[in-house]
């Protein structure tokens, strides 16, 4: 999508020496730089972007945005060039606002949700509610852009240039409402800082991404950035008080003067009063500021009630009438790869696929599935390579404590030895059955199903590839479950 050239001053940027060239595009990858581009040389976890300034200049960059370290790294190349230099204390934040000005358009009503688990479900339910209410809506995150307009995304929260290009394209396609997932990486790297949101939600916090964040406190601080910086003071914070960090997050939002809307079990503005489970869903009783409601949810898993109420809170905070919001709830459908019914055996046993890939998510998913199951609960779990190693035995333990039978298998081993990853998971589940090949593990899990049983295949959810080394091999848990059922039941899936 082309954009008219703008000067640095039009982009609210000031270059050293007062230089004000026309900019024809933005890039964070030196390989994508063209004549007249502004290249953002950002600090990285392994290599500083300043190392690539020399290549951006050769490609015709008219301006360089970086910090003092980046300017030092490329001092000689910059001195010999005609490019304007913008030095910022926080170049990531500067890039976010620059990208917002450059692309110029965002959907008029936007909300965001952060937390370890539930982000995709909450954002998707928000989009579904808005759609039921007649709005052209999308959700943006792990599963790409979904809804009235679709587009792929490589990251849950894209870097600012991709993000604001996507938001502008959404507006061009008639999108008026958007719900975003705010990842800890994205918040820590200021990717959302120029997104104009009306409301933000906090779902929960449990161990994840400690390969990126130094410790749990830093992980929480990254999530809190959604309320400390991104959500404006006149916005509304929707906080799940069920989570131990909910009270602290509410205090952070209150200190900014933001309006607070709370969700909880036996407490909060959206107060969950009771749930009744059956094989196809659940009945939900809750109250909104003292007014009782009773609705049917065609969704598996008790945790879905918190996701639904958070979604309701965001939609209400963004301006919709509560009663109209609640009327949509029976029409909501399962989020792809989140407690998704993948197949049913001829004996009635069900197979579910879920994205659970943290200890808390695995425990939550299995506990939530248990009330819907009259027989045994079988789980298939694995852990990803090149990620937080400390959570692996905890994932095994969560499966061991909450399932009757556990299979441990591979789940995106990446550059690591798959057997070593499986051994770490099995340290927490010593009685588990180890099956390295994921397709075989699914087949054996399906084969073990007796009448009244259920199988949960955890970890990959919506993903359609298995990452081994540098290769992404086609693999879809839902498809594999259907194939296994068809093979074992003579074509019945």
* SS3 annotation, 24-40: CEEECCHHHCCCCEEEE
Structure tokens at 353: 């696929």
Q: How many other C-beta atoms lie within 10 A of the C-beta of residue 51?
A: 14
Residue 414 DSSP class: B
Alpha-helical regions (H) of 133-237: 160-172, 184-188, 216-225
pLDDT of residue 214: 54
Task: Classify residue 61 as exposed, middle or buried by CB count within 10 Å of its CB (0-12, 13-18, 19+).
Answer: buried
pLDDT of residue 40: 98
Q: What is the C-alpha to C-alpha distance for residues 350 and 376, in angstroms, rounded to an integer?
A: 11
- pLDDT tens digits in sequence order for the chain, 493 residues long: 468 999 999 999 999 999 999 999 999 999 999 999 999 999 987 899 999 999 999 999 999 999 999 999 999 999 999 999 999 999 999 999 999 999 999 999 999 999 988 899 999 999 999 999 999 999 999 889 999 999 999 888 899 999 999 999 999 999 999 999 999 889 999 999 999 999 999 999 875 544 454 576 888 998 999 999 999 999 999 999 999 999 999 999 999 999 999 999 999 999 999 999 998 899 999 999 999 999 999 999 988 999 999 999 999 999 999 999 999 999 999 988 889 999 999 999 999 999 999 898 899 899 999 999 999 999 999 999 999 899 999 999 999 999 999 999 999 999 999 999 999 999 999 999 999 999 999 999 999 999 999 999 999 998 989 999 999 999 999 999 999 999 999 864 4
Q: What is the C-alpha to C-alpha distance for residues 354 and 364, in angstroms, rounded to an integer?
A: 11
406 strand-pairing partners: 379
3-class SS at 55? helix
Tokens 């299979």 correspond to what residue?
Answer: 407
Q: What is the pTM of this model?
A: 0.86
pLDDT of residue 1: 45
Q: CA dist 230 to 114, 182, 236, 250, Å?
A: 12, 10, 12, 15
Q: How far is CA 134 from the centre of its chain?
A: 25
β-strand pairing of 137-141 with 144-147: antiparallel
Structure tokens at 93: 């934040």
pLDDT of residue 216: 67
Strand order in the sheet with 377-381: 340-344, 350-354, 454-458, 377-381, 405-408, 433-434
12: left (phi > 0), else alpha (psi -120 to 50), else beta?
left
């Amino acid at each position: 999508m082309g954009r008219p050239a703008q000067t640095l001053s039009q982009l609210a940027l000031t270059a050293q020496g007062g230089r004000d060239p026309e900019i024809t595009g933005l890039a964070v990858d030196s390989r994508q730089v063209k004549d007249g581009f502004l290249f953002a040389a950002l600090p990285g976890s392994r290599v500083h972007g300043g190392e690539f300034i020399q290549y951006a200049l050769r490609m015709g960059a008219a301006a360089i945005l970086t910090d003092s370290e980046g300017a030092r790294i490329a001092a000689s190349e910059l001195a010999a060039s005609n490019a304007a230099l913008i030095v910022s204390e926080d170049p990531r934040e500067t890039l976010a606002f620059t990208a917002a000005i450059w692309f110029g358009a965002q959907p008029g009503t936007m909300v965001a949700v952060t937390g370890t688990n539930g982000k995709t479900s909450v954002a998707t339910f928000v989009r579904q509610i808005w759609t039921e209410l007649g709005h052209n809506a999308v959700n943006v995150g792990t599963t790409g852009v979904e809804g009235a307009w679709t587009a792929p995304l490589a990251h849950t929260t894209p870097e600012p240039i991709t993000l604001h290009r996507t938001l502008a394209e959404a507006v061009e396609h008639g999108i008026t409402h958007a719900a975003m997932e705010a990842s800890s990486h994205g918040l820590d790297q200021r990717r959302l800082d120029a997104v104009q949101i009306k409301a933000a939600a906090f779902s929960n916090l449990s161990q994840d991404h400690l390969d990126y964040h130094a410790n749990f406190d830093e992980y929480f601080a990254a999530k809190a950035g959604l309320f400390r910086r991104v959500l404006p003071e006149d916005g509304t914070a929707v906080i799940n008080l069920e989570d131990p960090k909910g009270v602290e997050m509410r205090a952070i939002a209150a200190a900014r003067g933001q309006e607070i809307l709370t969700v909880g079990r036996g407490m909060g503005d959206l107060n969950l009063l009771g749930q009744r489970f059956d094989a196809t869903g659940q009945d939900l009783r809750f109250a909104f500021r003292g007014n009782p409601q009773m609705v049917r949810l065609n969704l598996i898993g008790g945790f879905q009630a918190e996701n639904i109420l958070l979604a309701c809170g965001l939609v209400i905070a963004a301006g919709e009438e509560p009663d109209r919001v609640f009327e949509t709830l029976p029409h909501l459908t399962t989020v792809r790869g989140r407690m998704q019914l993948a197949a049913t055996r001829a004996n009635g046993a069900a197979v579910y696929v879920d994205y659970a890939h943290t200890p808390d998510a695995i425990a939550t998913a299995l506990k939530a599935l248990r009330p819907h199951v009259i027989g045994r609960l079988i789980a298939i779990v694995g852990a990803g390579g090149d990620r937080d190693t400390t959570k692996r035995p905890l994932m095994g333990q969560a499966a061991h404590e909450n399932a009757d039978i556990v299979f441990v298998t591979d789940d995106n081993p990446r550059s690591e030895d798959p057997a070593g990853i499986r051994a770490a998971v099995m340290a927490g589940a010593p009685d588990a059955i180890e099956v390295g090949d994921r397709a075989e593990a699914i087949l054996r899990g399906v084969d073990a199903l007796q009448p009244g049983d259920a199988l949960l295949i955890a970890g990959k959810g919506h993903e359609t590839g298995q990452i081994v080394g540098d290769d992404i091999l086609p693999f879809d848990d839902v498809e594999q479950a259907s194939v296994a059922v068809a093979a074992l039941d003579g074509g019945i899936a």
